[in-house]
């Protein structure tokens, strides 16, 4: 069970993301610095209790229209070997000390728990509360069950999302599409769940205080 500490992080997550986001191929660029607000998300528990796992939604209001981004993040107490390119930044946590923040699509612990969530085997947790399930996050799975142990991950970023090819041993290679630029259900390029083995849907807050929902991740057919 992940414990949510009521403390500070220096620099903060949004500050780190404001520097990191513009370098991503799926970022809808503007000529201004990002103006970010946390707009939603949820967490998953690491069974080993070592890695923090968060699926954050941030809204950028620097352009002519607000854009909501889905940013999976993993938080570690030491660097993740071989993942230097995925480092978002480091931050001093008021309780846990120095934390390394990674783009979670490169982190085998986060990806393993995402695979579990896609199968309905992991319970999504509230973003800011300890030991509090978030029933608004839903998953649909129509495939055959498979182990979630991750041997390797190949990450391919595109203009609308991130494609993952995941080696899982007994399950062979799986493909997962992670939506980055969030759109209401049925409107997200590259994240259409039609014909897929499974998908995860969650919500986020709109600038006017309303709520929207969309697909955060899609499990495709096994890769050849």
Q: What is the pLDDT of residues 144-186, one digit of tens each?
A: 888 888 999 999 999 889 999 999 877 678 999 999 999 986 5
Q: Quote the pLDDT of residue 41.
A: 97
Helix (H) or strand (E) holding 88: strand 87-93
In this structure, what are the phi and psi dihedrals at residue 120, rounded to the nearest 5 degrees? Answer: 80, 20
Predicted confidence at residue 224, as pLDDT, reads: 43
Mean pLDDT of 112-135: 93
Report d(CA 3, CA 131) in Å as an integer. Answer: 7
Cβ neighbours around 116 below 10 Å, total: 18
Average pLDDT over residues 45-53: 95
pLDDT tens for each residue of 96-121 = 679 999 999 999 999 999 999 999 99
Higher pLDDT, 22 or 1: 22
Evaluated on CA atoms 172, 180, 185, 59, the torsion sign reads positive
Model pTM?
Answer: 0.91
**In this predicted model, what pLDDT tens digit does every residue of 201-222 receive, in sequence order?**
999 999 999 999 999 999 986 6
SS3 content of the chain, % helix, strand, coil (to 5): 15, 40, 45
What's the confidence (pLDDT) of residue 146?
86
pLDDT value at residue 215:
95
- Coil, strand or helix: which one is 156? strand
Work out the number of other CB atoms within 10 angstroms of the CB of residue 169: 11
- Write down the domain spans for the chain: 9-219
Strands 52-60 and 138-141: unpaired
23-32, 63-72, 90-99, 152-161: which range is least confident on average? 90-99
Query: How far is Cα 149 from Cα 169, in angstroms, rounded to an integer?
Result: 7
Residue 124: burial class (beta carbons within 10 Å; 0-12, 13-18, 19+): buried
Instruction: Note the pLDDT of residue 148.
Output: 84
């Amino acid at each position: 069970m992940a414990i949510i500490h009521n403390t500070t992080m220096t620099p903060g997550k949004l500050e780190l993301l404001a520097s990191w986001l513009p370098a991503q191929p799926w970022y809808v660029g503007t000529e201004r610095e990002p103006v970010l607000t946390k707009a939603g998300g949820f967490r998953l528990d690491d069974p080993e209790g070592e890695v923090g796992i968060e699926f954050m939604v941030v809204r950028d209001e620097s352009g002519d229209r607000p854009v909501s981004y889905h940013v999976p993040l993993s938080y570690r107490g030491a660097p993740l070997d071989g993942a230097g390119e995925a480092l978002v930044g480091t931050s001093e946590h008021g309780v846990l000390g120095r934390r390394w923040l990674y783009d979670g699509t490169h982190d085998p612990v986060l990806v393993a728990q995402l695979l579990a969530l896609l199968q309905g085997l992991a319970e999504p947790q509230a973003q800011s509360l300890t030991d509090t399930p978030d029933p608004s996050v839903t998953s649909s799975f129509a495939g055959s069950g498979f182990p979630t142990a991750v041997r390797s991950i190949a990450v391919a970023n595109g203009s609308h999302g991130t494609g993952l090819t995941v080696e899982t041993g007994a399950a062979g290679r799986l493909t997962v599409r992670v939506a980055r630029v969030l759109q209401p259900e049925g409107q997200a390029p590259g994240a259409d769940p039609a014909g897929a083995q499974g998908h995860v849907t969650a919500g986020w807050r709109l600038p006017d205080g309303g709520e929207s929902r969309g697909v955060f991740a899609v499990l495709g057919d096994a890769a050849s």
